[in-house]
Each structure stands twice: as structure tokens, then as C-alpha cells.
Structure 1
Amino acid sequence: MACTPEASGAAGDPITELNMRFERDAIPLIDRLFAGALSLTRNKQDAEDLVQETMLRAYAGFHTFREGTNLKAWLYRILQNTWINQYRKKQSRLAEIPVEYITDQHMAADVLLTSARLRSAEVDALESLPDDEVKAALMTLREELRVAVYYADVEGFSYKEIANITNASVGTVMSRLHRGRQRLRIALRMVASRRGMTSAETWSDQPSATPVIAI
């Protein structure tokens, strides 16, 4: 899946230095790009193809990348645009988040960001949910909400970076994250209630004074 560029020219040559920078900085991010690609394609083979095409485009345009800025966000922007241009129209199913990168601890923390101040017993209940149930709850979100939550809470991108990656406004990103986290919280507490770990009625609806995690 990796597409390592071959260095050409003598040492000190701009093309050689560009190749070395790409191999040093961009190639190690392929696994993270693959995780993001799975969130869009839902299919391993399609994700591999998407990453391959993304890396080819990134290499071709690497001279335009400003060193010192966020390379991962730059690569994700290329990934997103490549998906829109070549893959999304071919898909009829909703995208999935790469489940191997998502745990119940991730989702519990994300839900707490926009949820009420929860009692310690309720926090413990969320954190003890099996991964497959957390992933199932996540899959209830619409694609744009699911992808926004993934970029923010798994990859750690800022609102501005997500807006740039998804070609949306910052306000749209904030709205998607708010709605996505709210709906995920509801889905998770229903799962917890069904398991008899906590009652849905015991969850507080008073806003928390301090976010659990910062975006």
C-alpha cells in the first residue's frame, strides 16, 4: 500500500531533499490515513486504493506543502477530496468509522464533552461498555456526524482543521460535532440502561462547568 518515492539527483538537490522529507514525514502517516479512509469507504480494499491515490497526489503536490504546518491535516484534505472526486459517487452504503481505532474509552470521553455532569457510577458504566456496543452506537449516527466525531475525537483535529478537510464552515463542523456527540450520548446511555448498569432517568441534564476534553 505504501508508495515510497525514489530519491533522484545529487545530495543537496531540491528534488532529492523533497523526496527525503516526504519519506521521512508523510510515509509514516499512512496507517492513520488508512484508518481515515476506512471511515469513508467502509471497505478495506477501497480504503487501500484511496490511500494509494492520496499518497500519489500528495507526493505530486508536496512542493506546495508549507513545512511547519499540520502535515496530517494537509494529507487528510487530499484524502477527503480524492474520496469526493473518485469514490463517494460509487458508494451506496453509509461510511463506517475504522473500528479498530475506536474504544469505549474514546467514546465515553467524547460523550462527556457535551453531556451533563455525570455521577462517577455513570462514568464507570460508560467505560465498562464492550467495544462492539460502543461501535454499534456510533454507527447509528449519520455519515457527516460520524466523520466529524472521528476527525475530532479520534484524530484530534481542531474545528478549523476539520472544516478545511471536509470543505465545510467552522460553524457547520461545530454543529455536526454537537449533534453527533449528543446523539452518541443518548445511544450509549440506552445501551447502558439495557445492560442494567444505570437507569436512563438518573443521567443529569445540567451542563458541565468544565469540559472533560478540549478540542
Structure 2
Amino acid sequence: MTALEFSYVLQEMSKQLRPFAYRLTKDSEDANDLLQETVLKAYTNREKFSDGTNLKAWLYTIMKNTFITNYQRMVRRNTFIDTTDNLHFINSTDNLAENLAHSSFAMKDINEAIAKLEDAYKTPFLMHFRGFKYHEIAEKLNIPIGTVKNRIHIARKDLKGMLKSYASKY
């Protein structure tokens, strides 16, 4: 395959690579950078590509490896090393002590949110939370199993709405 043909095929394939780049980076600018870097690496290493093999898979592999390398480089760059005698990694989680204050606030908020649920939704939800199976809840409350599943689903949805401030924290 000539350089011109390879360039044309690479340009066509880049349209298919863009969604994968976005899934990896979760940011459109970073996805564009990753795509550009992948295309550049593929073009500069085009002699390593064997005709008759799967170009798409080759490009996806280049992109994935480039993303992993960039991520590892970023993590290393953000790791600070203390040069005192004991040589600790500042962002090391080996000896992490937490006072768990945030969890007591969260549990208080969760319990308050559960208390706000209507009894029709709260009872099946709490039974399921405590380990009861759907069919056991249905028998105990004398309601169809589909109703049990629906009420648990609605309770979860309502709780998720009431506790959305915790969505990105945990």
C-alpha cells in the first residue's frame, strides 16, 4: 500500500476511531488529541503494518496503548516524592487514616431520604435491602412479584434523586 493510499484509508478510519477515543477520554478535546496522536503514530509506522491484516484492529490497538501510556505518564507526573530521610510518596494510600465523618453524614442523609419514601415503596425496598428475595417480599406483602420489582425500582429512583449530591463523591 502506498503512502497516499494509506493516508486515504487512515483518514476514512479516523471517523470510526473518534467515538472510541471519546469513550476512553470522556472529553472531546482530549479525544481529538488522542485521535491525532494515533493517526500520527500509525502514519509514521505504516511500514510495520502488513497488507491483508486488519487495519482497524491495528489502529484501535495503537489508540488504546497511546491512551494507557499517556495516562501512566500523567499519573507519574502527579506523584510527588518527599526527599526527606523516610522517602514517602505523598499521594500514597498505603497508610491512609480516615475519620469517617463523611460516612456518618451520608448515612444520616440516606436514612432521612428513606424515611421520606411512601410506605408502599419503603417497605419492599427495605426488605430487599435486608436480603429478602423478590418472591419472599411478594409472599410476605401479598402482592405480585412484578409490583415488588416496580416499587423497589421506584424507591431507588426516588432515593437517587434525593441523594444526587452524593453522586460524584462515591
Q: Which bracket does the TM-score occupy, shorter chain normalised?
A: 0.3 to 0.5
- Under a length normalisation based on structure 1, what TM-score does the superposition of the two structures give? 0.34
Whichever of the two has the greater Rg, that structure is: 2
